[in-house]
Amino acid sequence: MSPTPSPQEKFLVCSDRSDSWTDPHRKRDKPSLRGKPVIVGGIAGRGVVATASYEARRFGARSAMPTSEARRRCPPGTAFLTPRFAAYRKTSEVVMALLHELSPLVEQVSIDEAYIDLAAGDHDLSPASVTVLAEQIRASIAAATGGVTASVGVGTSKLVAKIGSDLHKPNGLTIAAAGGEQALLHPLPVTRLPGVGPATTERLRRAGIHTIGALAQTPLPQLLDWFGQAHGGGLYRLARADDDRPVISEREAKSVSAEETFDVDLTDRARLGTEIDLLATKVGGRLRDGGLSARTVTIKVRHHDFTTITRSTTRPQPTDQPKLIAQLARRLLSEVDTSAGIRLLGVGVTALADFVQDDLFGAIEPDRPSGPVAPDPGLSTPDQHTVSRRTTPSVWRAGQDILHSLHGPGWVWGAGRGLVTVRFEGPTTGPGPIRTFAAEDPNLLAADPPNWA
């Protein structure tokens, strides 16, 4: 039996590309936006901010804020762009590949964040050597992604590594050597701990507890009385940096879903059917991308008054076919009263399997006319700046990658009233010229993200 490793031999790194959504827009692919406030998310009336650049955060913009509020807070000239999932996924794949070179134990927890168990990677784990290694990680990420920054935290647990990675964004580095965990955590506000939301914060405030250090001095019976066994005990352990969660290299997917919030409540059944088709195409594509299939199809419907319902159906064999998923989702929607208006519609699948066993005959009914079905742009494999599987879209979205047959690659600067304005620039250029075209110009094509090398 091998000896129990000392705490120093359990160093973990949490790599968090601090500006992950806005960096590909602003610092790399869109030179004209460097140093300017950028908002990424839903940019229409009911849109929500997915993320904001640090320049935009100085004006109070933040994730989960209604886009309309962000527009009121940010100055003229702020860029409001739709997400580019293909670009984020491409960047994420490059980063995760670099992290896997460091250790066989890498736990990816989101598109822009992962934990690394360095003890499994045969590294010198002294604080000085780990500091050098963390600097190398950040430099490698920047070089391989065209300048995307990384914030890294190093510690003896996931908790310390995660909090450390958040302390000095953007492009920061925090090292907490074994024995120094409490010195790092105790001065910080209690809101830095996971699970400490507004209600917990308010209860602690009434007791005069504002910092993690003050929380660590609170007797366990008191916390159990205030918050119960599970939450109170968890706070007691976290305040003392007691976190023994291991790095799990693979996570089993339990569900795949896609949803859309509409600018105007929808009542038209034909339009809702088209939205079902679009969502099912995304879900089916993601299943195939992950080598998965599913037996249970679920729809999520949010009415105009925010009442939310779900409906599910399960078939005998798993499938990854978008048409079949859409067919089942349409049937479920037909049982829902949509006359008062639908605010949000979602399609999801569960009961996942790693094989497909569709019926040999009659698995899919003949297609119903429902308009074009656009593929999920996040599923392309853009090894070079190529034209996407679509041609000229019916709707252009701000920030979208395009390719003009005469002027070359660029991105949508703005669109409306039958026109689309394009800025022709990219990772290897300076700020480029702006030109306006008819929205249906056949020379304009939707494109995959540009190369940054």
Enumerate the active-site residues. Answer: 113
Name the nearest CA neighbour of 48 among 250, 343, 406: 343
What distance, in Å, lies between the first and last C-alpha atoms of the chain? 48
- Strands, DSSP E only, in 82-126? 106-110, 113-117
One-letter amino acid of 123: H
Q: How far apart are CA 25 and CA 48, in angstroms?
A: 18
Q: Where are the alpha helices (DSSP H) in 317-443?
A: 322-334
Q: At 41, which helix (H) or strand (E)?
A: strand 38-41
SS3 state of residue 111: coil
- Residue given tokens 């049937």 in the structure block: 331
Q: Which two tokens stand for residue 35?
A: 């140093």
Residues whose CB is less than 8 angstroms from the CB of residue 130 and which lie 6 or more positions away in sequence, other chains included? 11, 13, 118, 123, 124, 154, 175
SS3 state of residue 51: strand
Name the nearest CA neighbour of 182 among 153, 159, 151, 208: 159
Q: How far apart are CA 67 and CA 61, in angstroms?
A: 9
Name the nearest CA neighbour of 86 among 290, 377, 328, 314: 377
Strand 173-175 and strand 151-155: pairing? parallel
Residues whose CB is less than 8 angstroms from the CB of residue 361 and which lie 6 or more positions away in sequence, other chains included? none
Give Dmax (Cα) for the chain. Answer: 72
Which sign does the torsion angle of CA 437, 439, 441, 447 carry? Answer: positive
Name the nearest CA neighbour of 58 among 31, 24, 35: 35
Name the nearest CA neighbour of 94 among 137, 133, 151: 137
166 phi-psi bin (left φ>0, alpha ψ -120 to 50, beta other): alpha
Residues whose CB is less than 8 angstroms from the CB of residue 207 and which lie 6 or more positions away in sequence, other chains included? 218, 226
- Residue given tokens 């990772």 in the structure block: 427
